[in-house]
């Protein structure tokens, strides 16, 4: 069993802490490593060092910063499968899904390599006689990121490449449940030529996060995780005068119109509800059938029943285990509430077993029909392979149902009607909309734009908005005299 190191002041070092958190393989519950709860002194050192390194990193020409990202992209591609194996082991994700997790992160690094054009300011000549105005974007300073367990490659890569390409230094606090993947990302970042200390990685939980949220040296905090923690991060960070972008939990609906293509709908619903064991913030957890739900549900049930969990290297497995025994117990409890609150349990994933892996956190595909908005299985983010089916009378009713949800991360509509699609995308109060696409995660040249209770903040992650989040704008108004000054001192605002 290995101790996960800190990446502190440019060195991979053992923490001096006495407080450690076990990292387990969720398919076996075997302890594979332990992560340190970084000490107060180590946290202080990381923050001070990030401030020191910022002074030199911000002066590195933007094209050189871009070249670090180009080299990093190439190294991540070269080590893609090895990173995916580490990721599979600590999350349980199937190898194919783990590769997708890494790949979606690499795409953000590609975006960060475009930083010279992304950071361009604006210029207007002759805003007044012989006066020009131009703006620059300049880095903020020390930034921090706190990431969840469910995408240990992609989500750290949503954050630090963009922040660092902008000229900031960055302290990452990854999920304590799967810190091995982010450490590998950090090793490769150093190998790509990033100066020591530009990126640091600390481990732990609330105590370490609280230091990042309250230390005045930290200018911006990026968070991805659950709703209660996301609210806390936003409230605490902004109270401490930081910029905060806080991406939180979700409950995503897929609306199925009677004219949708049946096979496409079934494929999309099954993959998007139980893929990654439902542990995706953009997973579809509610199917809303417009018209007769019974025309669809038996086929959805047959297809879902064929999906099965398994080990990361089991090529026939549809998805892996739940991240922890605690998370599994929570999912099973929510399934129980569905039954006791009157939904029809058509497929029950509780008590699921996988041959040869008796100790894994397995939950099988679970399907409910007759779900209503008062039920916990509708209101709560289950974060498991559970699909809740509902029936409404019209597209308008479906839109109104979704707009009343406190969440607004993702939604999708399946239809063959352009008119229905146009109305849905216009009226729906959700930040990421798929038309005949179940999980509409935007590529990194757009931003990841959750709304309502799924996002607290102003500027979203990656895309152009990330550059605004990680920079300040400085606007210069300049006059260079081309003739001798003739005017006299002015004591009032000039009318131009």
Binding ligand NAD (rule: CB under 6 A), the pick from 101, 190, 381, 391 is 381
Binding ligand NAD (rule: CB under 6 A), the pick from 454, 459, 465, 471 is 454
Asked if residue 281 binds ligand NAD (CB under 6 A), the reply is yes
Given the rule CB under 6 A, which of 27-35, 120-128, 241-249, 369-377 is the region that contacts ligand NAD?
Answer: 241-249
Measured from the CB of residue 453, what is the shortest distance to ligand NAD in angstroms? 10
Count of residues engaged in binding ligand NAD, rule: CB under 6 A: 28
Straight-line distance from the first to the last Cα atom of the chain, in angstroms, rounded to the nearest whole number? 72
Binding ligand NAD (rule: CB under 6 A), the pick from 25, 73, 91, 147 is 147
Measured from the CB of residue 429, what is the shortest distance to ligand NAD in angstroms? 16
Binding ligand NAD (rule: CB under 6 A), the pick from 5, 225, 365, 463 is 225
Site string for ligand NAD, 98-137 (x = CB under 6 A): ----------------------------------------
Asked if residue 224 binds ligand NAD (CB under 6 A), the reply is yes
Query: Do 94 and 437 meet the contact criterion of CB atoms below 8 Å apart?
Result: no
| DSSP secondary structure, 399-453, as one string | HHHHHTSSEESEEEEE-S-HHHHHHHHHH---SEEEES-SS-PPPTTS-B--EET
Binding ligand NAD (rule: CB under 6 A), the pick from 33, 211, 220, 248 is 248
Residues 6+ apart with CB under 8 A from 471: 119, 137, 138, 139, 140, 166, 167
Binding ligand NAD (rule: CB under 6 A), the pick from 137, 273, 409, 432 is 409
Cα separation, 456 vs 230, whole angstroms: 7
Cα separation, 273 vs 438, whole angstroms: 9
Query: Do 167 and 62 meet the contact criterion of CB atoms below 8 Å apart?
Result: yes
Query: Do 276 and 93 meet the contact criterion of CB atoms below 8 Å apart?
Result: yes
- Residue 167 or 174: the one with the smaller Cβ distance to ligand NAD is 174
Asked if residue 226 binds ligand NAD (CB under 6 A), the reply is yes
Q: Please, how many CA atoms are within 13 Å of residue 92, restricted to the half-sphere of its CB?
A: 35
Measured from the CB of residue 208, what is the shortest distance to ligand NAD in angstroms? 8
347 strand-pairing partners: 367
Report helix, strand or coil for 22: strand
Cα separation, 434 vs 427, whole angstroms: 13
Measured from the CB of residue 383, what is the shortest distance to ligand NAD in angstroms? 6
Helix H or strand E segment including 127? strand 123-128
Catalytic site residue 166?
Answer: no
| DSSP secondary structure, 46-115, as one string | HHHHHHHHHHHHTTS-HHHHHHHHHHHHHHHHHTHHHHHHHHHHHH---HHHHHHHHHHHHHHHHHHTTH
Query: Do 202 and 9 meet the contact criterion of CB atoms below 8 Å apart?
Result: no
Given the rule CB under 6 A, which of 146-154, 187-195, 306-314, 345-353 is the region that contacts ligand NAD?
Answer: 146-154
Q: Which 8-state DSSP code applies to residue 257?
A: -
323: alpha, beta or left? (left if phi > 0; alpha if psi -120 to 50): alpha
Binding ligand NAD (rule: CB under 6 A), the pick from 7, 54, 232, 470 is 232
Given the rule CB under 6 A, which of 9-17, 35-43, 186-194, 242-250 is the region that contacts ligand NAD?
Answer: 242-250
Report helix, strand or coil for 65: helix
- Residue 75 or 146: the one with the smaller Cβ distance to ligand NAD is 146
- Residue 73 or 147: the one with the smaller Cβ distance to ligand NAD is 147
Which residue's CB comes closest to ligand NAD? Answer: 225
The phi, psi pair for 169, rounded to 5°, reads -105, 160
Binding ligand NAD (rule: CB under 6 A), the pick from 152, 167, 237, 249 is 249
Measured from the CB of residue 199, what is the shortest distance to ligand NAD in angstroms? 16
Vertex 113: Cα angle to 133 and 438 (nearest 5): 105
Binding ligand NAD (rule: CB under 6 A), the pick from 40, 206, 262, 326 is 206
Cα separation, 392 vs 338, whole angstroms: 19
User: Which member of 37, 166, 281, 352 is catalytic?
Assistant: 281
Cα separation, 318 vs 144, whole angstroms: 35
Measured from the CB of residue 120, what is the shortest distance to ligand NAD in angstroms? 27
Asked if residue 229 binds ligand NAD (CB under 6 A), the reply is yes
- State which of positions 382-401 bind ligand NAD (CB under 6 A): 383
Closest CA to 161 of 201, 116, 105, 120: 105
Asked if residue 205 binds ligand NAD (CB under 6 A), the reply is yes
- Residue 49 or 173: the one with the smaller Cβ distance to ligand NAD is 173
Asked if residue 146 binds ligand NAD (CB under 6 A), the reply is yes
Query: Do 430 and 410 meet the contact criterion of CB atoms below 8 Å apart?
Result: yes
Binding ligand NAD (rule: CB under 6 A), the pick from 175, 252, 369, 465 is 175
Asked if residue 209 binds ligand NAD (CB under 6 A), the reply is yes
Measured from the CB of residue 377, what is the shortest distance to ligand NAD in angstroms? 16
* Chain positions contacting ligand NAD, by CB under 6 A: 146-151, 173, 175-176, 205-206, 209, 224-226, 229, 232, 247-250, 281, 381, 383, 409, 448, 450, 454
Positions marked catalytic: 281
């Amino acid at each position: 069993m290995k101790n996960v190191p800190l990446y502190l002041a440019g060195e991979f070092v053992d923490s001096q802490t006495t407080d450690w958190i076990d990292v387990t393989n969720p398919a076996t519950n075997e302890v594979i490593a332990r992560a340190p709860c970084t000490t107060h002194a180590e946290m202080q050192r990381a923050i001070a060092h990030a401030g020191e390194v910022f002074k030199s990193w911000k002066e590195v020409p933007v094209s050189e910063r871009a070249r670090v990202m180009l080299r990093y992209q190439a190294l991540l591609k070269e080590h893609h499968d090895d990173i995916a194996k580490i990721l599979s082991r600590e999350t349980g994700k199937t190898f194919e899904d783990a590769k997708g997790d890494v790949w979606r992160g690499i795409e953000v690094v590609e975006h960060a390599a475009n930083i010279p054009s992304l950071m361009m300011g604006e210029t207007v000549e002759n805003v007044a006689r012989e006066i020009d105005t131009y703006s620059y974007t300049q880095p903020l300073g020390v930034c921090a990121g706190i990431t969840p367990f469910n995408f240990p490659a992609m989500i750290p890569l949503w954050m630090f490449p963009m922040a660092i390409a902008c000229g900031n230094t960055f302290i990452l606090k990854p999920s304590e449940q799967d810190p091995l993947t982010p450490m590998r990302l950090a090793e490769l970042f150093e190998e790509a030529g990033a100066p020591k200390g530009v990126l640091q990685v600390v481990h732990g939980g609330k105590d370490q996060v609280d230091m990042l949220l309250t230390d005045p040296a930290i200018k911006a905090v990026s968070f991805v995780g659950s709703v209660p923690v996301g609210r806390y991060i936003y409230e605490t960070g902004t109270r401490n005068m930081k910029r905060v972008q806080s991406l939180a939990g979700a409950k995503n609906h897929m609306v199925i119109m009677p004219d949708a293509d049946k096979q496409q709908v079934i494929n999309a619903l099954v993959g998007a509800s139980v893929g990654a064991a439902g542990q995706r913030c953009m997973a579809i957890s509610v199917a809303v059938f417009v018209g007769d739900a019974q025309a669809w549900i038996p086929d959805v049930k047959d297809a879902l029943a064929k999906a099965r969990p398994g080990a990361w290297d089991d090529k026939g497995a549809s998805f892996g285990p739940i991240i922890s025994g605690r998370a599994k117990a929570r999912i099973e409890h929510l399934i129980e509430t569905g039954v006791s609150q009157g939904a029809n349990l058509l497929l029950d994933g509780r008590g699921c077993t996988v041959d040869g892996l008796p100790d894994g956190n397995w939950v099988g595909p679970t399907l409910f029909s007759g779900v209503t908005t008062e039920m916990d299985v509708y209101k709560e983010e289950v974060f498991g392979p559970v699909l809740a089916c509902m029936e409404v009378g019209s597209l308008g009713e479906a839109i109104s149902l979704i707009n009343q949800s406190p969440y607004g991360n993702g939604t999708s509509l399946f239809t063959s009607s352009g008119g229905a699609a146009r109305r849905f995308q216009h009226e729906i109060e959700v930040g990421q909309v798929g038309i005949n696409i179940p999980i509409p995660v935007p590529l990194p040249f757009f931003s990841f734009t959750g709304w309502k209770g799924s996002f607290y903040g102003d500027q979203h992650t990656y895309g152009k908005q990330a550059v605004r989040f990680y920079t300040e704008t400085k606007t210069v108004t300049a006059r260079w005299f081309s003739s001798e000054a003739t005017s006299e001192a002015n004591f009032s605002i000039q009318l131009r």
